[in-house]
Amino acid sequence: MLDAKVRELLNQQINKEFYSAYLYLDFSNYYYDQELNGFGNWYMIQAQEERDHALLFLKYLQNNGEKVELDAIDKPAVELSCNKAPLEEGLKHERYVTSLIHTIYEAAHAAKDFRTMQFLDWFVKEQGEEEKNAESMVKKFELYGNDPRSLYMLDNEMAARIYTAPSLVL
């Protein structure tokens, strides 16, 4: 049995990860509409990763004999007014998700729930990578996004991203 607060936060995180997937699908659609298909691809893969993160949390709760409660997923409410906006919103969102993971970790630590802390270690590392990738994309866009040829090359770089499922074993 998990601590009630830890269980509640883990359950909430499932829904927040699904929201992240929705948000990144929205970004992907935005970029496909702009004919920036590489950026669209990058965020489509990002959406797949977030979905998988949700499923990892779900499976963790199930493996611990806990009931999973799914909520409705809100429609993304971000204004995408230019090609840089999804990148900036993505960085902001990754920082938010990092804070959520840290909150769960703090609750698990307070409850001396070492198994959940160990489970979350992968997510802590993953969030570091997610923030670094998001920061890099913003910086690259700031450097190259106003030059059409450079933007074309950056879009091609984003198109090369392929999906790999998370390697976390439950």
Residue 165 banded pLDDT, cuts 50, 70, 90: confident
Domain edges within the chain: 4-159
Interval 101-145: pLDDT, tens: 999 999 999 999 999 999 999 999 999 999 999 999 999 999 998
Q: 4-159: which CATH number, 1.20.1260.10, 2.40.110.10, 3.40.50.300, 1.10.1060.10?
A: 1.20.1260.10
**What's the rounded Cα separation, in Å, for the pair 1 and 7?**
9
Whether the Cβ atoms of residue 140 and residue 121 lie closer than 8 Å to each other: no
Of the candidates 73, 77, 62, the residue with the CA atom closest to the CA atom of residue 10: 62
**What is the pTM for the complete model shown?**
0.93
Three-class HEC string of 148-168: HHHHHHHHHHHHCCCCCCCCC
CB-count exposure of residue 74 (10 Å: 0-12, 13-18, 19+): exposed
- Give the pLDDT score at 114: 97
Report the pLDDT averaged over residues 48-76.
Answer: 96
